[in-house]
Amino acid sequence: MKITFVLPDLNYVREYMPDYDGVFAQGIGYLSSSLKHAGHEVSLIHVTKDPERDNYIEILKGEKPGLVAFSLFSHQFGLVKELAGFTKEAGGFPTIAGGVHPTIAPENTLSDDSIDMVCIGEGEEALVELCDKMDRGEDYKDVGSVWVKDNGIIVRNSVRTLNQNLENRPFPDRSIFDFEKLADAKLGMLTVLAGRGCPYNCTYCCNHQYKKLYADSGKYVRFRDPESVIREIKEVKKDYPYLEFVNFLDDTFCLNKNWLRKFLPRYKEEINMPFHGNSHVNVLNEDVVKLLKETGCEHLSIGIESGNEHIRKEVLDRHMSNEQIINAFTLGRKYGINFSSYNMVGVPFEKIENTMETVKLNATVKSYKTHVSIFQPYPHTSLYDICKENNFLNNGGSEVSTFFGKSVVALPSISNEQIQFSYKYFNVFLKLYGVAYFMLPGAFSGIMEKVLDKLYLMPLHRFYLKIYPVVFPLVFPTAFIKRMLLRIAPRLVRRLKKIITKRSYS
């Protein structure tokens, strides 16, 4: 049978990468290889631009699929509803949706008339069983992890137990993507998943929901056999020799020290490419950072999220002190690894003073790159429930459709204007605090910090937002010129950058 995946992938980082044309999605890759392994045919409609109805319908008709399979995050549900509608117009093809949103909000996903089934959780084995049954013309209403609409009633099959032996799955299939066009190819980035799952319970993230879902399923956090990860990288490298560094997409790549000690020396010996990854502060000690450096780590992304310890612990359920964060970043600098941070503003109960603390903590740790986003209450996360209980979800509805631009919550502790200001001016103040902390002598440093605090907190946020288009080029002239050039000649900028920094990724 032929399965056509539809992957919405529209708006990510377009500001920084105007020629963004999608990214390789591991989930689709794994599903595709499992289906092909079972003898099915697979194709992909990678939706990287606003879809045009007639064009989409024409492409889909040409594919003649036996099943149309959508993969989506929560903020893409609106678009998927539209595409599912077009899919039915194109020929009434059966449809299934999977991914984070259908997993955590299956009823909501199935409320759309054009979506016939959802897959809950990991989908490799479920989708293969479903397609096998459809192909053989058998009844497919009993497939584990799949919910099926049957004459207006939803058949809710329970979730399958987790696959504890990830090596049984074929390596993800990159060939259904137009790989040369992807951000991966443009950046020289080879992405891999060394395992699945995360042990933490951050209230804004999907992992605590997945853990509940898989409570009776054995280990939720699983790492692959190092041998299998190395074999996958070698195979990908053979197919795409221009890829220059490996990016481990795992939520917490550095979690299991024993696994790292087995994997990394072999990686160095057999692959020897620079690599990037994500880590939680709590697992970073000197031994780990040293090992990472010795084996080629050049970049690690770390969640700070809030500079206020109370918000971090009580609201976000992230248990780490500012001191631990500072120590981890100090280790990064000591061993010459670029440590970047993830941060949010507009978190429930946050005040403008707290967003300032986040900026100041980032300045203190000299984060290499600072990612900031506006908090989004993803459905059914515990922080979403808290927002609901406190009536914070009444600012334009609870449907999350953006991940950078605006806040969909109304918080009594901080105004929307202040959230916008904290988001837009994050890097401006980061730079200025950096000057105060590290470029001025003692007494002046304290004075400048006090002045900056006053400027940050003064109730002039609306005015600041108005003058932002002038402030940005003044504070970041190089970045401003780079963004302009990127719009005109993205390839040239990347090539120049590669020559200057000897690294294509940033």
Q: Which of 9, 129, 184, 305 binds ligand B12 (CB under 6 A)?
A: 9
Q: How far is the CB of 89 from ligand SF4 (least distance, A)?
A: 38
Contact between 25 and ligand B12 per CB under 6 A: yes
Q: How far is the CB of 26 from ligand SF4 (least distance, A)?
A: 15
For residue 340, which of 373, 299, 390 has the smallest C-alpha distance?
299
Strand order in the sheet with 117-119: 41-47, 2-8, 67-71, 95-98, 117-119, 146-150, 153-156
Cα–Cα distance for residue pair 291/297, rounded to 1 Å: 9
Give the interface segment with ligand SF4, choosing from 198-206, 232-240, 362-370, 477-485 (CB under 6 A).
198-206
Cα–Cα distance for residue pair 68/134, rounded to 1 Å: 13
Q: Encode 109-118: b = buried (16+ Cβ within 10 Å), e = exposed.
A: bbebebbbbb
12: Cβ–Cβ under 8 A, 6 or more apart, which residues?
Answer: 20, 23
Contact between 210 and ligand SF4 per CB under 6 A: no
303 contacts which partner out of ligand SF4, ligand B12, none, CB within 5 to 8 A by kind? Answer: ligand SF4
DSSP H helical ranges for 240-369: 257-270, 286-294, 309-310, 322-335, 352-365
280 contacts which partner out of ligand SF4, ligand B12, none, CB within 5 to 8 A by kind? Answer: ligand SF4
Q: How far is the CB of 301 from ligand B12 (least distance, A)?
A: 10
Give the interface segment with ligand SF4, choosing from 19-27, 37-45, 196-204, 392-400 (CB under 6 A).
196-204
Contact between 26 and ligand B12 per CB under 6 A: yes
Cα–Cα distance for residue pair 224/416, rounded to 1 Å: 44
Query: Which sign, positive or negative, has the C-alpha torsion 284, 287, 289, 295?
Result: negative
* Element containing residue 247 per DSSP (H, E): strand 245-248
Q: What would the two tokens of residue 60 be? A: 């889909």
Q: Is 207 or 256 the residue whose CB approaches ligand SF4 more closely?
A: 207
Give the interface segment with ligand B12, choosing from 73-81, 134-142, 290-298, 424-432 (CB under 6 A).
73-81
Q: Is 86 or 253 the residue whose CB approaches ligand SF4 more closely?
A: 253
Q: Is 32 or 252 the residue whose CB approaches ligand SF4 more closely?
A: 252
Query: Which sign, positive or negative, has the C-alpha torsion 133, 135, 141, 146?
Result: positive
Contact between 425 and ligand SF4 per CB under 6 A: no
> Site residues for ligand SF4, window 275-304 (CB under 6 A)?
280, 303
Contact between 419 and ligand SF4 per CB under 6 A: no
User: Residue 212 class from Cβ within 10 Å (0-12 exposed, 13-18 middle, 19+ buried)?
Assistant: exposed
**Residues 112-141: x where in contact with ligand B12 by CB under 6 A, - otherwise, as a string:** -------x--xxx--x--------------
> Site residues for ligand B12, window 397-416 (CB under 6 A)?
403
Q: Are 248 and 278 in contact (CB under 8 A)?
A: yes
Cα–Cα distance for residue pair 487/402, rounded to 1 Å: 22
* Interface residue list for ligand SF4 (CB under 6 A): 198, 200, 202, 205, 207, 251-252, 280, 303
Binding site for ligand B12 (CB under 6 A): 9, 11-12, 23, 25-27, 30-31, 69, 71, 73-75, 96, 98-101, 103, 119, 122-124, 127, 193, 205-206, 249, 251, 373, 378, 403
